[in-house]
Amino acid sequence: MTRQARPGETIVWRSVDREKRSVQTALPWNVVRHDEHSIVLFMRPGTVWKVRTGRYGGPRDRMLLEWDGAYAERIWTATNVLMFHRFGDAHSLWLARDDATSRLAWWYVNLEEPWHETAIGFDSRDNLLDRWSGPDGEWHWKDEDELAWAIAQGWVGPEREAELRKEGERALERFRRRDPPLDDDWLGYRPDPSWTIPTLPSGWPDYEPRAD
């Protein structure tokens, strides 16, 4: 994809392992806004996405230790989500609203590698630490136990932990300033009713996908 995507168009966001050249997760989204500086995406309940399967471990048995080469299907439920990303940043911001009431459910800072473009959307890599806030506006670190476990295994060093926490603080500062593209009334956003729930294209598991 070498052009700016149109509103309503489907793009695929993937978390990838660049060393092993494999796809970890893949989620299809509708494009809300896309320019040279940033992108805003939308996902609704019923969206089908994919995640790797295999042997899991860690504090809550959520960390994939050994991939079996297959993927499981997941279905997004309960909330509709707007994702905001400014190109070059090592995070995205997610706004979730209850799909039945449109009330704020949560804000989320997803710490991730800066995005790079693919033929079907964008690739990144999800990092271990995140931040979240409920309707009360209080922000919390998320998955600190998994980060501590990864540090104990020698997978993450203290310098990397410091980088992640610094990026989490930077993201929160952006949120509080309402830096673009957060400067619109996104709490009142409604998607075009003609949009359909996006689906993953046939080449989504390929590390270097081709557009259909």
Mean pLDDT of 85-94: 98
Mean pLDDT of 9-16: 98
pLDDT in tens, 133-192: 999 999 999 999 999 999 999 999 999 999 999 999 999 999 999 999 999 999 999 999
Q: Tell me if 49 is assigned to some domain.
A: yes
Neighbours of 83 (CB within 10 A): 20
Mean pLDDT of 83-94: 98
* Domain span holding position 85: 10-184
Per-residue pLDDT, 1: 56
By the 10 Å C-beta count (0-12 exposed, 13-18 middle, 19+ buried), 99 is classed as middle
Q: What is the percent of the chain with per-residue pLDDT over 70, rounded to a whole number? A: 99
Spatial distance between the Cα atoms of 129 and 162, rounded to a whole number of angstroms: 11
Q: Does 59 sit behind a cis peptide bond, omega within 30 degrees of 0 on the bond before it?
A: no
Per-residue pLDDT, 2: 61
Buried b (16+ CB within 10 A) or exposed e, 2-18: eeebeeebbbbbbbbee
Per-residue pLDDT, 124: 98
Per-residue pLDDT, 210: 81
Per-residue pLDDT, 123: 98
Q: Tell me if 95 is assigned to some domain.
A: yes
Mean pLDDT of 186-202: 96
Which residue from 68, 79, 130, 74 is spatially nearest to 102, judged by alpha carbons?
79
Q: Tell me if 198 is assigned to some domain.
A: no
Mean pLDDT of 109-134: 98
Tokens, residue 117? 């473009």
Per-residue pLDDT, 132: 98
Task: Count how many domains the chain has.
Answer: 1
Per-residue pLDDT, 3: 80
pLDDT in tens, 126-139: 999 999 999 999 99
With beta carbons less than 8 A apart as the criterion, state whether 86 and 37 touch: yes
Q: Tell me if 134 is assigned to some domain.
A: yes
Q: Tell me if 34 is assigned to some domain.
A: yes
Higher pLDDT residue, 27 or 3? 27
With beta carbons less than 8 A apart as the criterion, state whether 95 and 110 touch: no
Q: Tell me if 116 is assigned to some domain.
A: yes
Strands (E), the chain: 10-17, 22-34, 38-43, 48-57, 63-75, 79-86, 91-98, 104-112, 116-117, 121-124, 126-133, 139-142
Spatial distance between the Cα atoms of 110 and 124, rounded to a whole number of angstroms: 11
Q: Is the model's pLDDT at 211 over the cut of 90?
A: no
Q: Tell me if 193 is assigned to some domain.
A: no
Q: Tell me if 5 is assigned to some domain.
A: no
Which CATH number belongs to the domain containing residue 38 in this structure? 2.40.380.10
